[in-house]
Chains A and B, each alone.
Chain A
């Protein structure tokens, strides 16, 4: 009996530990679990969409519910699954790759996570309170500004809160990479994943405020009677489209660049070669990031901006193919002549190259403004962006998770199950989306609830649905692998892949202070250099000394909960002014927590040198 009590206390203490943690490695776990759950929810929504479209004249779900499904599928996958999973990797890996003990702002790191989670929860509560958002993930006005019910209100408040978390996370990684690199870790020695995280953070910083403003305007129109998108009062609905895509286009590079970095590390590790064209890869990343802000209006070719604007945006769009092509060729040349090991991570990376190239090619097709009038709003577009986002980001997330799993959880994911999961997902993916190019060219518009018989769309849609189920099977095998690995697999060594970068010099999983002594970086691929010179570990840059650590805090959780409560208040004050009490309570909690943070000094604590010597670091 006493044992059970200890067990219970253990769980309670663990939950408390995770709610208050400021350790980047634990925050990575939180992002991974929360993002994974939302990924499953978004996947379930995708399956429902595919079942509805499996056959003509289908009545599996109603048209209204279908609109909610497509909206929530897109919104969930982009904001609540892909981005948090990317943040999980950044948190788990970047501080280790640059030789830092934590991120620059551990408190803000935690705040960023909890804002994302509460924003995501708020968005999904809408399912149970009379209807989810139903104006598409792009939420175009005036459809969104006049959509009845509270669905779109949840979209506005949920994304506002989650977006604030993302912005905070982006600033945090920028400062971490600028200020916290170990001695010798110059910019041009940073691993590519760190570089792409850096550029991604720049994109987050400059793209998200545009969404913030767009959401505020939508909130004011829907909840406080302003006239931004109300054409009858002089408003202009196109403003939403501009603001949304000024954010939205950089957003797709926010989703793809980090996995480009992960692929670069993976190709290099499993080819046993340094990355081909390192500086060209860095330059291409920067260029993609820069051009990513110049192309937003290619989403709006059919709006009527005129031939000059369309031409400019068409040219800039096609220009992005150049740095992307540089990357593809550099990956191929990295493998050329290398000693290739076909691990699961490498398999996903290999699957990514042809898949993403197809997506890039259709991207150039769509970038041609004249031709886009034909493709616009058809399944061709749906096929294109799933080729880049699933074929790029999701493949990349699978690859990166297999690669860094030992560093995150101390165990190598079972390779056999990994191979077994890859094939149904890969084949299922192409089955689902390749045919959609042709459905689109045949004239099937996106977002339609159903289609008639005899239009030649039935077979293609059936194939697409079968593919979706294969992808689901692949995902389930991955989940099984996670559980299997946790129970059956032995503890991983520090360096299971014969790695090249700093994170592999630490035990799997690393101690909470990461580096007992800050490492000295002597070149690109620092661990590889040490290995080639016959050393076991990294040369330290400092003598053993006390380590300064930040304190945990419950305040980020409370602040986010405050905004969550206030979100409900804002949504429902339209119906009953008493809901302003919820606004007051929520904002009160938010500002009181913020005030507490400001007034109470948080100096952190030290781990003493003597304790470090006793514990050892597992490197010897």
Chain B
């Protein structure tokens, strides 16, 4: 039996992402990786909380943060998580075109989020002179939120690459796990943002 026959069966199974041993390994391995990522962000949150009071001048969380923009960003990212669920739904129904469509929407929403974040940082730096170096709060803020933003950027490259790579050949048992774990990653980014929204922005405003 050649690889082609194995990876393109006549009847695609219901869970194409877990139909091969490689797929199962990727699935379990990626969950493990996300466990490690959780500790990574927990450490960054801890550091941020320890330093969030170490502000300089008027650049305190209350003065800097604008909840309007952050609300838009939250909506963009939460919606993108939903659209990636749609994409996985279509993957399980072996509808490749619709999966690509919803992944495309996910990427666009992610781009919107990232654009807002870049604008936010630009705004802080140029309007307020609030930078990575200006105080320990600044270092902690840009590192935590920046790490998340970096993850979003990486996720965008990842999902886009998968879409382009598989555009012509469609879904098979080799690339299904890849699509699936990229969507897991995307959900994780979303969950981290929920915590950033709460701990950094909401608490910052109340603080």
Contacts and interface: CB of A to CB of B under 8 A. Distances in A.
Tell whether A pairs with B. yes
A233 B135 contact: yes
Contacts of B7: 603
A174 interface: yes
Interface stretch (B47-55, B65-73, B98-106, B120-128): B47-55
Contacts of B143: 216-217, 220, 226, 228
Interface in B10-52: 21, 24-25, 28-29, 32-33, 35-37, 39-40, 43-44, 46-47, 50-51
A595 interface: yes
A171 B30 CA distance: 9
B48 to A, nearest CB: 10
Interface in B38-94: 39-40, 43-44, 46-47, 50-51, 53-56
Contacts of B43: 209-210, 212-214, 243, 246
A603 B174 contact: yes
A333 interface: no
B32 A234 contact: no
Contacts of A224: 132-133
A227 B135 contact: yes
Given A175-B29, A228-B140, A598 B36 contact: no
A159 to B, nearest CB: 15
A216 B139 CA distance: 12
Nearest to A208: B36
B26 to A, nearest CB: 8
Interface in A203-226: 205-210, 212-214, 216-217, 220-221, 224-226
A236 B161 contact: no
Contacts of A172: 29
B50 A104 contact: no
Contacts of A105: 25, 29
SS class of chain B's interface: helix, strand, loop or mixed? helix
Given A179-B21, A209-B37, A227 B133 contact: yes
B29 A228 contact: no
Nearest to B139: A226
Nearest to B132: A226
Contacts of A235: 51, 54, 136, 139
A225 B44 contact: no
B134 to A, nearest CB: 8
B113 interface: no
Contact of B47 (A104, A167, A213): A213
B3 interface: yes
Interface in A40-82: none
A225 B132 contact: yes
Interface string A184-217: 0000000000000000000001111110111011
Contacts of B97: none
Contacts of A216: 143
B179 interface: no
Nearest to A240: B47
A227 B47 contact: no
What 10 A-B pairs come out closest when comparing CB atoms?
Answer: A234-B54, A234-B136, A226-B139, A209-B40, A213-B43, A209-B39, A104-B25, A235-B136, A175-B29, A227-B136
18 contacts: A104-B29, A172-B29, A178-B28, A205-B39, A206-B35, A206-B36, A206-B39, A209-B36, A210-B40, A226-B133, A227-B136, A233-B54, A234-B51, A234-B136, A236-B51, A239-B47, A598-B161, A603-B3
